Structure 1
């Protein structure tokens, strides 16, 4: 009956991991909602949901989504050219808001740079950081600690599943056949089932909701999804997958250096 010790270890691991994940979920649910501070970006194309498209992009997909939205917006106005090879060229070097200026500041002196490099630099820029701070202050975006806590809780539940499997394997192997193997495995199914259920629910929630938005932010995004959506709104909510132009979608999906155009004569 010493396999019961392995069972107790497995149960303790699942309980600890589940408590950690549920605590992170409770912390996210307790974030108070406040008035959104005045945005430092133009209010053009602000949806009826009450947030700008930049703010909606941040809540739906984080800093990189904001950078993608800015690139697509400037390309639609022909102020940037984004080639399917993954290279971007500046047409109009004057930014109309801090986010556009952050994008333009990521280009080299020749006004040409890989799209991926521009996107990454803009996502890490001061303008996006301030946007996130404003949304967190308003209770619409999850604080960094809460987001990290949810991720760590999810990792803990994954580890608990592996722990149960390892303890069950050890119990069956070391028992030496003195106890019915089916009975032992059934007992280990008791901690395994809730661990798998927690993991499945967490993944389902992560696939349906943004990991960047608080419950109040998710309500705003739900209102935005329910309304009429233009091209930029779809990009803000769904990212590169919502870009209709295949060439533009290819440009935004290229790797770090893009594809250098083939020179004539080669």
Structure 2
């Protein structure tokens, strides 16, 4: 295997992963891309400017902000710069652009315009947490941040309650205890999980245990958080009569009948319309 300096064609947009905490994780290719870029689209121009300075890179390329609140407006400008022959570097504050970070809209716009894309791999908090969790890695899904509002949070977790793949979530430290409590309530307190904190930083820490145990530990936590939860064990589908009881139980908890019937039917290979109509008939 040969080590080659990164070089890219004009008119290309490069997505580059940046360190998530430890500056030493910056790759030589990232440094080279900073040096060669004609334009840098950054989630936070101040943070990217500081990163560039710490990596010893000059200020040749201008920085343009591209974050969740302006990406849709900036996408055309950024893609047009590439169309005009500029080398555009797209970075987020930490980790890989587009993964719970800005970049997706720009990638879609570039594809529609036929603009070449390339990627510079590097740190990614979800994958690092998965590797450290001790939970199955052969099949997994990334769910990003959980909803903030309680009703939406519970609906999302109910939808995921039968998910058999290992699940990865991002969370803020102030919401960690509440989210672990909701996970334990819906998935069961005995479900194996891991909480990964401050990955690659000086105070990196991984807690492993059950959701019930981790919920009790999650107090006065600081730093960046990733939650990894084991998937559900395969279960036999419910018979229609048992599915009806489950739908009614969810309705009593405040869920709409149509929504409850749809979720229960999907999990058990049944017809949502049949469940819905049966319950309506029994209510007459």
Structure index of larger Rg: 1
Q: Which has the higher contact order (CA 8 A, sep 6+)?
A: 1
Structure number having the greater helix percentage = 1
- TM-score, normalised on structure 1? 0.24
Structure number having the greater strand percentage = 2
